[in-house]
Structure 1
Amino acid sequence: MANRNAIVLAAGKGTRMKSKLYKVLHQVCGKTMVEHVVNQLSKANIDNIVTVVGFGADTVKQTLGSRTSFALQQQQLGTGHAVMQTKDLLGDAEGETLVVSGDTPLFTAETFNHLFEYHEQRHAAATILTSVAPDPTGYGRIVRNDVGIVERIVEQKDATKEEQAIKEINTGVYCFDNAKLFEALKKINNDNAQGEYYLTDVIAILKQQGEVVTAYRDNDFNETMGVNDRVALARANKIMQARINKHLMQQGVSMIDPSTTYIDADVKIGQDTVIEGGVVIKGNTTIGSDCFIGSGSRIIDTTIHDGVKVISSTLESSEMHTGSDIGPNSHLRPNAEIGKNVHIGNFCEVKKAYIGDGTKVGHLTYIGNATLGKNINVGCGVVFVNYDGSKKHHTNVGDHAFIGSNSNLVAPVNIAADSFIAAGSTITDSTERFDMAIARQRQTNKPNYAKKLPW
């Protein structure tokens, strides 16, 4: 097999996106568009990947890192000009070179491999990746002769009525014999209305020289879609979302309503987990087997172990161990770690805290900057008071402790194992094992006072 090279065109600003963010850095299901392209090229076993950068060059470089080399296009003078900028890196390379745009996030490694194989089998100088568009308006048309050989690419504005009726379109992806590509690039010019150097002119030059120019048709038109505005970006997200969800379901994940379930590209989910509709799972999230994720849940950068139940809750940068459950309407904030078989009730919030195995946390409770042991009972409305106005302080609660409802634990404080906090107490002092702490004002009853009230 010949060496495989790839050039990713990612220098454009993307003015139609109406954004401060450069076009190829807009995300589709949790990854920038250019990352999707480079990742699929890597899966296709490309020997050399070169990304042409321009607008936002430093940010694009930072995003892609060592996965690719880079060439700078200081002035955006067309696709042909962009490819010319890779000469120092690829001009003398052997083999075949694929050219693809960085704003086409839906292409797969399988399609790239098929394109290379088709190109190599036919000993072509150039192979155009085409597709059949339901509405080809705006695309360059592929004109073939009566035996199916590609004659030329004709742009919409230059096409006759007969040519405009052609539905096979140019996707803007090409595979070239590398040496012939760079030789032909020397012959193109910018003698056109835009004053730009077009890569399509290379196709015309190779054809005039009698070289073999072929076209490989991609049967999935959606895959070939380029993203030029927010409408197309939303459509690309929807297509990618459906692709991700289909793959997960094929791997044994149940989704009650896939059309309303949003899952980012890097999320991992185990078998026999059930996900209801209206769920959002993003970032670097891993969910184990036999879990249940209820509707309205939002999970970001979180690790969930086997057999966990999440009901209509938000989890951020946290971890839930096997058999634990949370919700409805609770919130794990960053650095919350929930042990095995822990129950977190409704309307609770946990931040920067560890909750040990078997502990039960009642509803309407806040736990922040704390370490809780095993088999603790935390009643309703308990507040771990961790902030003094300038610094956060830590609370420790030992195994088997009982924290009565509506208690305030004012940090820094240590609640010893097997101690008991009476309901309604505000605790400022540490306890010893088996202590019962009561810190509330004694009740006073005023006889007949209610008769004086105005209602």
Structure 2
Amino acid sequence: MQELDIVILAAGKGTRMRSQIPKVLHTLAGKPMVQHVLDTASGLQPDRTHVVIGHGAEQLREALAENAVQFAVQAEQKGTGHAVAQALEQLGSGKVLILYGDVPLLRRESLLELLAQVDEQHMGLLTVTLEDPAGYGRIVRNDAGDAVAIVEQKDASSTQLAISECNTGIMAMTSAQLKRWLPQLSAENAQGEYYLTDVIAMAADEGIKVCTAQPATAVEVEGVNNRAQMARLERAYQQQVADKLMAEGVALADPARLDVRGRLSCGHDVFIDMGCVFEGNVELGEGVRIGPYCVIKDSTIGAESVIDSHSVIEGTVAAGLNQIGPLQGYALEHGWQ
């Protein structure tokens, strides 16, 4: 099996977030966005994972210290091609997958499909078809239907702006291909930046086929640039969690008002009322009933227990057949079992 390097771009400031925190460290479901990307990447069992950092570099080093990653620094923000180039010397001789630290909902299955298409004569590009493609680079195809270029919106003609198939930025190629193409990038464009997307035209010029794949849903490849997008992806993630819980037999009073910020496992016939928050690792035994607006963190609740509304429970292992009220304040350090 060929080696796999994964490069995650995480150097941007995220000006539109209006925050002193690096954009990729803003949390979704209680975890930094870039950590979601790293967790997905680890499922591909890469030989090396590289995180390109710039703005807030030391904060990122500290936040990701427990991850087995190599850091590359982009001191100046000169575009995505320039960012990837900072990790070029660290790459092996196999395949390279390029991801983004602000695209947290990407699925492992989509990436496996993309990587399966890569060899010396093929590269992979993840695209998405959107009803409103404003702001995205467009996929240009030739008469045979092959992808031959990506045109950024600011550089697109009126005809190209009508294209609905868009670039996600996520691509895969061999290390040899990437090392040939990156030094050829030019900043002669409307942004004055080195676009990674220009490698698509280079591949086409070499006769290397650009194989495209699409995600199961558009939200999977949606990035975050502002607070509104962050909130939208948070709800999309929580809806995915709610759907999974209901498929496993959990009854939710209102799936739109559930927040899981960690791992929640449930036995049969569990009922969760509206507005509940679960943090860390939480286990609910069979028949547990959770009242509205409870917060439960790092706890195990035994079978047939009833948690009254507005209860706050942390670090607790509760035996079954208990009823817990909001003012009891159970915590493991207080010795309640």
Which TM-score band (shorter chain)? over 0.9
For 1:45, the equivalent position in structure 2 comes to 45
Give the aligned partner of residue 72 of structure 1: 73
Q: For this pair of structures, how many residues does the alignment match? A: 335
Match of 1:314 among 305, 312, 315: 312
Identical residues among aligned pairs (%): 38
Amino acid at match of 1:35: Q
- Which residue of 2 is the match for residue 87 of structure 1? 88
Would you say 1:260 and 2:261 are equivalent positions? no
- Aligned equivalents of 1:332 and 1:124: distance in 2? 63
Q: Report the counterpart of residue 21 of structure 1 in structure 2.
A: 21
Counterpart for residue 212 of structure 1: 209
Compute the displacement of 1:43 (Å): 1.1
Post-superposition offset of 1:125: 4.1
Which sections of structure 1, spanning at least 5 residues, go unmatched? Answer: 338-351, 357-455
Normalised to the residue count of structure 2, the TM-score between the two structures is: 0.93
Select 1:198's aligned residue among 177, 195, 200. Answer: 195
Task: Tell me the distance in 2 between the aligned counterparts of 1:298 and 1:280.
Answer: 5
Match of 1:5? 5
Q: What are the superposed Cα offsets for residues 46-65 of structure 1, whole Å, 9 maximum, x if unpaired?
A: 22211111122232223322
1:228 to 210, 225, 228: 225
**What do the CA deviations read for 1:355-411 (whole angstroms, capped 9, x no partner)?**
46xxxxxxxxxxxxxxxxxxxxxxxxxxxxxxxxxxxxxxxxxxxxxxxxxxxxxxx
| 3-state SS, counterpart of residue 135 of structure 1 | coil
After TM superposition, give the deviation of residue 164 of structure 1 in Å: 1.8
Instruction: Specify every segment of 5 or more residues in structure 2 that has no aligned partner in the other structure, as ranges.
Output: none
State the one-letter code of the partner of 1:106. L
Name the structure 1 match of 2:321. Answer: 323
Letter in 2 for 1:103: D
- Residue pairs, 1:325-344, within 5 angstroms: 325-327=323-325, 329-332=326-329, 336-337=331-332
* Cα distance between partner residues in 2 of 1:255 and 1:138: 37
CA distance in 2, matches of 1:355, 1:143: 64
Q: Of residues 298, 303, 323 in structure 2, which corresponds to 1:301?
A: 298
CA separation in 1, counterparts of 2:336 and 2:209? Answer: 68
3-state SS of 1:106 partner: coil
Aligned pairs (5 A) from 1:32-181? 32-64=32-64, 65-90=66-91, 93-120=92-119, 124-181=121-178
**Greater relative CO, 1 or 2 (CA 8 Å, sep 6+):** 2
Give the ranges of 4+ consecutive aligned residues of structure 1 lying more than 4 Å apart after TM superposition: none
**How does the TM-score come out when normalised to structure 1?**
0.70
User: CA 1:135–1:51 in structure 2 vs 1: closer, same or farther (change >3 Å)?
Assistant: same
Match in the other structure for 1:284: 281
In structure 2, C-alpha distance between the alignment counterparts of 1:299 and 1:17, rounded to whole Å? 29
RMSD: 1.9
- In 1, the alpha carbon distance for the partners of 2:284 and 2:70 equals 34
Highest CA radius of gyration, 1 or 2?
Answer: 1
Quote the offset at 1:324 in angstroms.
1.8
Q: Output the CA distance in 2 between the equivalents of 1:219 and 1:163.
A: 25
Deviation, structure 1 residue 193: 4.2
> 1:47 is matched by which residue type in structure 2?
D
Determine if contact 2:305/2:320 at 8 Å carries over to the other structure.
Answer: yes
Distance 1:166-1:317 versus aligned 2 partners, 3 A rule = same
Instruction: Tell me by how many angstroms 1:17 deviates.
Output: 0.4
Q: Relative to total residues, which structure has the larger helix share, 1 or 2?
A: 2
- 3-state SS of the aligned residue for 2:154? helix
